[in-house]
Amino acid sequence: MRHYSLTAPAKINLHLEILGDRADGYHELVMILQGINLADRIDIKAGSTQDIHLHCEHPDVPLGKENIAYKAAQLMCREYSQSYAQYGGLDITIEKNIPVAAGLAGGSTDAAAVLVGINLLWKLGLTQPELQILANQLGSDIPFCLEGGTALALGRGEELSPLEGLDDVTVILAKHRNLYVSTAWAYQTYRQQYEKTYVEQPETLELGRKQAHSGNLVSAIGQRDYTKIGKLLYNDLEKVVFPSYPDVEALKLAFQEQEGVLGTLMSGSGPTVFTLCSSPTAAKQVVEGVKAKMNDPALEFWITELTSTGIEVT
Ligand code: ATP
């Protein structure tokens, strides 16, 4: 029986700027997204019944229709109903290594892997642009998760332009165990507080995009100037998450104080804070410094690298 195993990397946001509202209810964004080596593993094979079965041992991951990976499978079954009838149901196992509800696109990357896996399992021969159209129907970060690497993402995240690949940097991820921030809450709160700054759709959108302060970071990425990149990291959502979750801000400040840090930022809607360092040795020292400063047993740390690949068959 055919069986595919896929690696699904997490992402961090080097830049997240909110320009305004969209007619479809999402926000108009300017983001710079970066894949990292921390990854879930997705195993996918034909099921013994005509249903979709999802397995995951992580207690916070839903196993039914609320799971975005399950929704990805449902979409493929609807779109390619002949193949679904021919090959039978699906058996999908998620090995969860990416922290859940942490601003690292854990669910989105699982969904992207399911699209790739079913494409292979059912021999659909869908091209990357065809997979992108499906990804876009499912959620904002999923198109990026399919591609991976480093990219400028406009719209709600689906208008992707690849950027110069970054590699020579080590990433520390840190978060408080059992602290979750809802992405929907973060954007709603931002809307309530900053709606008056929003650009009009579509009248001033192009201008807003041109004036977005991601430009300097895009140049620094082109030059692979990691010192500049570190200084230019930016996330609008810190403005609403930090006041409600002061521990997240304290964590960022603790990283900023350490020697050897290129830059530090909350990823996505948080609560994960990521920190860029020039080497694994520097990163280990920084983690020790933050542990000593915070003295908080609820803190979790990961040291990882940037990756230029999206979903990969292993
Ligand atoms: P993003 O950065 O895209 O906003 P996130 O990394 O903050 O996402 P996820 O890990 O995707 O957040 O989880 C958000 C919520 O979605 C969780 O509370 C969880 O209940 C639900 N969820 C649905 N599918 C998944 C999945 N495959 N993995 C993890 N969580 C999932």
Largest Cα–Cα distance of the chain, in whole Å? Answer: 59
**Distance (Å) from CA 255 to ligand 1 centroid:** 25
> Separation of 40 CA from ligand 1 center, angstroms?
12
Cβ < 6 Å from ligand 1: which residues?
60-62, 66-69, 94, 100-108, 110, 141, 183, 268-269
Q: Which residue minimizes the CA distance to atom 19 of ligand 1?
A: 61
Domain boundaries of the chain, sorted by first residue: 3-165, 170-305
Question: What spacing in Å lies between the alpha carbon of 105 and ligand 1's midpoint?
Answer: 7
CATH fold of 3-165 reads: Ribosomal Protein S5; domain 2 (3.30.230)
Quick check: ipTM above 0.90?
A: yes
User: Would you state the torsion angle of the CA atoms of residues 96, 102, 108, 110, taken in this order, to the nearest 10 degrees?
Assistant: 0
Tokens 């019944």 belong to 49
For 54, other C-beta atoms within 10 Å of its C-beta total 21
Answer whether 3-165 and 170-305 agree in fold. no
Residue type, 42: I
Closest residue (by CA) to atom 17 of ligand 1? 101
Query: Sign of the C-alpha dihedral, residues 242, 230, 154, 103?
Result: negative
In this structure, which residue's CA is closest to atom 13 in ligand 1?
Answer: 101
Amino acid at 212: A
Q: For every one of its 314 residues, what pLDDT tens digit does the chain have, with 9 covering 90 and above? A: 689 999 999 999 999 999 999 888 899 999 999 999 999 999 999 988 889 999 999 999 999 999 999 999 999 999 999 999 898 899 999 999 999 999 999 999 999 999 999 999 999 999 999 999 999 999 999 999 999 999 999 999 999 999 988 988 999 999 999 899 999 999 999 999 999 999 887 788 888 888 888 999 999 999 999 999 999 999 999 999 999 999 999 999 999 999 999 999 999 999 999 999 999 999 999 999 999 999 999 999 999 999 999 999 99
CATH number of 170-305: 3.30.70.890
